[in-house]
A and B are shown apart, each in its own frame.
Chain A
Amino acid sequence: GAVVSQHPSRVICKSGTSVKIECRSLDFQATTMFWYRQFPKQSLMLMATSNEGSKATYEQGVEKDKFLINHASLTLSTLTVTSAHPEDSSFYICSAFSPGEEYFGPGTRLTVT
């Protein structure tokens, strides 16, 4: 089946710094990718829809200036958490949509100290 990768798998950063997370579709082109956030023992919450070549669409309550999304190619979307704070510590998961199915990445564990 289709494969989606994320990099890094784990990252620890200091409060106030920015962190970039990459999401790649390895064997198919994805015009649409999605970014989710998952806190411990909770469900996945959609943050934004990343569209290749256009601006991302953010869900209500998600700050677009804090969570910068760039979908520069059909196989890569990046999420940058700017000025990270401890409350941004979470598991960030991307998915890539290919007609018929949505494929999830393995997730990135972000810890802000």
Chain B
Amino acid sequence: GESVGLHLPTLSVQEGDNSIINCAYSNSASDYFIWYKQESGKGPQFIIDIRSNMDKRQGQRVTVLLNKTVKHLSLQIAATQPGDSAVYFCAENNAGGTSYGKLTFGQGTILTVHP
């Protein structure tokens, strides 16, 4: 969920498997959502985004699904590689689509990919 916790959820997968990372958001007015990847000691790196008028968007090896009914967002990574190991955050914005700053970040999930 959106609350910040002291223990991030973890997901361990084998190289080549598909990974699914989930995120729940609380603000029904949010209209823009982003997934970020953060490696240890680095800033967040943009992965993929989706607007609230869509329910699915695909990128290279990644797919984001948005379910506004239950306020749920997921990130699917196909053929996960060891280089995908990182912390993944969802972020939401509710500035009416005119300004994409002031993001609210979700809890984060630690993804570990084993060779």
Interface pair A106/B7, CB less than 8 Å apart: no
Closest beta carbon of chain B to A27's beta carbon, Å = 16
Interface pair A107/B101, CB less than 8 Å apart: no
Stretch at the interface among B11-19, B56-64, B71-79, B105-113: B105-113
Closest beta carbon of chain A to B112's beta carbon, Å = 14
Contacts of A44 in B (CB 8 A): 44, 89, 105
Contacts of A106 in B (CB 8 A): 42-43
Known contacts A41-B7, A41-B8, A93-B44, A46 near B100 by CB under 8 Å:
no
Counting CB contacts under 8 A, is B99 at the interface? yes
Interface pair A105/B107, CB less than 8 Å apart: no
Within 8 A of A (CB), among B1-53: 4-8, 36, 41-46
Interface pair A105/B100, CB less than 8 Å apart: no
Q: How far is the CA of A37 from the CA of B10 in the complex (A)?
A: 22
- Interface of chain B, main secondary structure: loop
State which size class the interface on A falls in: 20 to 34
- Interface of chain A, main secondary structure: strand
Closest beta carbon of chain A to B17's beta carbon, Å = 24
| Residues of B in contact, count (CB < 8 Å) | 23
Q: How far is the CA of A23 from the CA of B77 in the complex (A)?
A: 31
Q: How far is the CA of A4 from the CA of B44 in the complex (A)?
A: 11
Interface pair B102/A45, CB less than 8 Å apart: no
Counting CB contacts under 8 A, is A43 at the interface? yes
Contacts of A49 in B (CB 8 A): 101-102
Closest beta carbon of chain B to A64's beta carbon, Å = 17
Interface pair B44/A104, CB less than 8 Å apart: yes
Cβ-defined partner of A32 (8 Å) among B46, B101, B107: B101
Residues on B facing A (Cβ under 8 Å): 4-8, 36, 41-46, 89, 99-108
Give me 11 A-to-B residue pairs in the complex whose CB atoms sit less than 8 angstroms apart, sorted by A's number. Answer: A6-B43, A34-B102, A43-B105, A45-B4, A101-B46, A102-B101, A102-B103, A103-B46, A104-B36, A107-B43, A109-B41
Residues on A facing B (Cβ under 8 Å): 4, 6, 32, 34, 36, 41-46, 49, 91, 93, 95, 97, 99-107, 109
